[in-house]
Structure 1
Amino acid sequence: MRLFAGIYPPEEACAHLAAYVRTLHVSTAAVNTRLAPRAQWHVTLVFLGEVPDDRLPDVDTALREATPPGGTPSARLRVAGGGRFGRGRFTILWAGLSGEVDRLTSLARDVRQSLKRARLPFDDKPFRPHLTLARPGDRIDRSLVAADHAALDAYRGPEWPAGTLRLMRSRLGPSPVYTEMGRYDI
């Protein structure tokens, strides 16, 4: 199964961001800019990729070890700023984070170390905390994507506590489906 571990902003933060995203060109374009569904907005701490079903208990154990009970209070975060990854048809528009991002980075490191000790696969690309908003690719003019990027730079959402890490299964397709496989207090 295809897995990732991530943090989901609370509904209040998503509603605030959704109102802002509706003003962007990726939302108002007459073409499909592959907007990410609001319910799927998350910050991936680690992408595990394909993991055999029989290793799911090992993933659960590794995530529990990385998130011991009685730890420090939840990191205070807010969705803020934004940018884009890629070029041409691979362009992705994203929103960033501000606040206690260093604590989230430490958690991502702890999760990866725990997965490594368990000899579980994961993508070891550097952690770049963001929420994917759209995958417009080259379906809209890049000047419009640049304008959206600039508009996102000015965005500051409400502050929220990052209190839960979720293990998610993702099924790809025209409309990806995410299923929660585990939940860990952080």
Structure 2
Amino acid sequence: MRLFAAIYPPAVAVADLTARIKGLRVAGARHARLADPANLHLTLAFLGEVPDDRLTDVEHALAPAARTVRTPRLRLAGGGSFGQCRSTVLWVGVRGDIDALGALAGTIRGGLREAGLPCDDKPFRPHLTIARPGDRVPEADLRADLKTLDGYTGPEWPAGHLTLVRSHPAPPTRHTPVATWPL
């Protein structure tokens, strides 16, 4: 099964962001892939494919991490993009207790590695992917959307839970929570 550890923003933050996304040019672009608001999350560690019989090991590796940091207070703000052409990802940034968030991500990744579980090695860059426009959106529209996101600041919220999520990537992408721990 394909797994990742994440924090989900509360409904008020998702609603505020969704209202902003509706005003972006990418939202009106034909064939641009917008993220489903129900799937908006902040990935702390991507495990990828994990054998079903290792699920308990994953849960045991994550549970202690949730108890190691204070509850970060966060807000969605700003934005940017990764990649070029078809690999372009449009994202909104995260601000607030980023040090606590980074410490949580580091503790999670360390616990997974210690348990001999897979984990990505990418540097932690807190963000929420909001669209994958690829080359289906003119560059001028993408630049305009980035400028709009630069001025975005959503409501502050406490990151209350760490969630282990199963990703079902076949279209449409679905995310199923597997386990949750309070922070």
> TM-score when scaled to structure 2?
0.98
Q: Counterparts of 1:38-57 in structure 2 under 5 Å?
A: 38-57=37-56
CA contact (8 A) 2:70 2:100 kept: no
Q: Deviations over 1:152-173 (max 9, x none)?
A: 0110000000010100000111
Shift of 1:74: 1.2
- Partner in structure 2 of residue 147 of structure 1: 144
Long gaps (5+) in structure 2: none
Shift of 1:21: 0.5
SS in 2 for 1:104: helix
Shift of 1:119: 0.6
- After superposition, the CA RMSD in angstroms is 0.9
Give the Cα–Cα distance (whole angstroms) in 2 for the partners of residues 35 and 140 of structure 1.
Answer: 12
SS in 1 for 2:33: coil
- Partner in structure 2 of residue 26 of structure 1: 26
* Identity over aligned pairs, percent: 52
Give the Cα–Cα distance (whole angstroms) in 2 for the partners of residues 56 and 139 of structure 1.
Answer: 38
Structure 2 residue corresponding to 1:174, chosen from 157, 171, 174: 171
- Partner in structure 2 of residue 59 of structure 1: 58
Q: Deviations over 1:101-153 (max 9, x none)?
A: 11100000000011111010111110111000000000010111111111101
Shift of 1:73: 3.8
For the pair 1:80 / 2:72, whether they are aligned, the reply is no
Long gaps (5+) in structure 1: none
Give the Cα–Cα distance (whole angstroms) in 1 for the partners of residues 69 and 140 of structure 2.
Answer: 43
Q: Deviations over 1:19-59 (max 9, x none)?
A: 01100001122x02100000000000000000000000000
Large movers: runs of 4+ above 3 Å: none
Residues 121 and 108 of structure 1: CA distance in aligned 2, closer, same or farther (over 3 Å): same
Give the Cα–Cα distance (whole angstroms) in 1 for the partners of residues 11 and 171 of structure 2.
Answer: 25
> TM-score when scaled to structure 1?
0.96
Give the Cα–Cα distance (whole angstroms) in 1 for the partners of residues 69 and 54 of structure 2.
Answer: 29
Give the Cα–Cα distance (whole angstroms) in 2 for the partners of residues 10 and 159 of structure 1.
Answer: 10
Shift of 1:72: 5.0
Question: Which amino acid in the other structure matches residue 115 of structure 1?
Answer: L
Shift of 1:65: 1.8
CA contact (8 A) 2:76 2:154 kept: yes
SS in 1 for 2:90: strand
- Partner in structure 2 of residue 35 of structure 1: 34
SS in 2 for 1:134: strand
Give the Cα–Cα distance (whole angstroms) in 1 for the partners of residues 134 and 24 of structure 2.
Answer: 15
SS in 1 for 2:56: helix
Paired residue total = 183
